[in-house]
Structure formats: C-alpha cells, structure tokens
Copies of this chain bind each other. A is one copy, B any other.
C-alpha cells in the first residue's frame, strides 16, 4: 500500500555507517520512496545539494538529519542550508533524526519552527511512514 501518490526522494545525513545502512533499508522498503541518497557528513550534504543536483526533479523531498556529527553538526548544517541560493531547495522538508536527549537540542528544534519533525533513533518503518504521512498533509 502506497500512502501517497507521488514518489519521494530521501536524503540521509549521518556520519555513522551502520545507521545509514539501516535507514536506507527502511526507506527503500516503503512504496512511497523512489530514491535514497546517503552522505556521511554535513559537508558532503552541502556539496551534494549545491553541486550534484542539476535537475529540479532530482532534489530530495525530505532530508533526515543527524545532529551529533564531527566537524559540522546538524544545526550548523541548517544554518548553511538555508543560505543556499537556489530555488531548488526551498520546499525540502527537514526531519531531525537523532538519539540525543540533550535539552539544548530539543530547544533548538522548537526554536526552528520550519522543521517537520524530531525523530528518535533508531528509525523504524512505522516511524518512517508517519513522517511520510506528515509530509503529505
């Protein structure tokens, strides 16, 4: 059963290989997902969004973003992300995917009211489907 008509493209940003592997597996099993892209760092994500995407139809619909990453964390990524001068990325939904219980992260999430959701690791297929439903509403 596909919960939505349109097919969604998902970008996962996480420095942990095992997490990425699990996330991709869950995403690809969902009938509403047409493609998944994994990157290991926020830096790679910026590079991907700015350089690698040539056609608008290639841009992700949803980004699942880890917070705790070396070099550039999730919040720092978002600061850069929103400055990307491109119509391409305007309506990409952002979902925080973190195992953090840190109140400062929760506050960060609440203060940035453009973010779609805050999902606790590990991702599971039910949780993932809920996010997709949220995107379509």
Specify how many copies of this chain sit in the oligomer.
2
Please list the residues of chain A having a beta carbon within 8 angstroms of any beta carbon in chain B.
Answer: 16-19, 21-23, 25, 121-122
Interface centre among A17, A23, A25 (most CB of B within 10 A): A17
In the docked arrangement, what's the CA distance between A121 and B17, Å?
9
A119 to chain B minimum Cβ distance, whole angstroms, is 14
Q: In the assembled complex, which residues on chain B have CB atoms less than 8 Å from the CB atom of A21?
A: 18, 21-22, 25
Q: In the assembled complex, which residues on chain B have CB atoms less than 8 Å from the CB atom of A121?
A: 18
Interface centre among A16, A18, A22, A122 (most CB of B within 10 A): A18
In the docked arrangement, what's the CA distance between A121 and B19, Å?
12
A126 to chain B minimum Cβ distance, whole angstroms, is 14
